[in-house]
Amino acid sequence: MVEIEVLQGDITKLKVDAIVNAANCSLLGGGGVDGAIHRAAGRELLMACMKFGGCQTGEARITPGFKLPAKFVIHTPGPIYNDGLHGEPELLRSCYENSMKLAEENGCETVAFSAISTGVYGYPKKAATEIAVKTVREYPTQNVKKVIFCCFGEDMLKIYQKVL
């Protein structure tokens, strides 16, 4: 089983094989963690993302990390939370599954996830955390040895610690 760690900090500082970006469907950057990743990685990241022509919610794409300490960035647009009855849980699960799949296919051993959809997209934090943890735990891994859940705030860190 994959080792799981939770930490509080800025995901752009982590020296891991891949960081997972809570992107939007344009993949052209935005606010929150997405903006921070694009700023830290530099303009080349935007150029690489432009080539995809967007990405559907729940899917994922991989790019190099450019100026980041991380080797790769996996970009996944999470669902915008409405009421939980519009496929949000399934879409959030897909984000984690498809990100794990790309990490596996690219030989990543260490992967750090941001808390997808829990910022501007409004997913209830505890429910989102339960999906994140369950999906990663259930994912059959070969290459990935360690998953880090990177929490920006202390509230999120506490939720992860409780769920784990």
Provide the annotated active-site residues.
34
Residue nearer to ligand ADP on the CB measure, 71 or 143: 71
Distance CA 106, CA 146 (A): 14
CA angle (19 as vertex; 13, 141 as ends), nearest 5: 135
Smallest separation, CB 140 to ligand ADP (Å): 26
Residue nearer to ligand ADP on the CB measure, 108 or 157: 157
Q: Is 119 in the site for ligand ADP (CB under 6 A)?
A: yes
- Binding mask 15-44 vs ligand ADP (x if CB under 6 A, - otherwise)? -------x---------xxx-x--------
- Residues contacting residue 61 through CB under 8 Å, at least 6 positions apart: 27, 49, 52, 55, 74, 75, 76, 102
- Binding mask 40-79 vs ligand ADP (x if CB under 6 A, - otherwise)? --------------------------------------x-
Beta strand 18-23 with 110-113 is: parallel
Neighbours of 6 (CB within 10 A): 19
Beta strand 72-77 with 61-64 is: antiparallel
Question: Which residues are at the interface with ligand ADP (CB under 6 A)?
Answer: 10-12, 22, 32-34, 36, 78, 114-121, 150, 152-153, 156
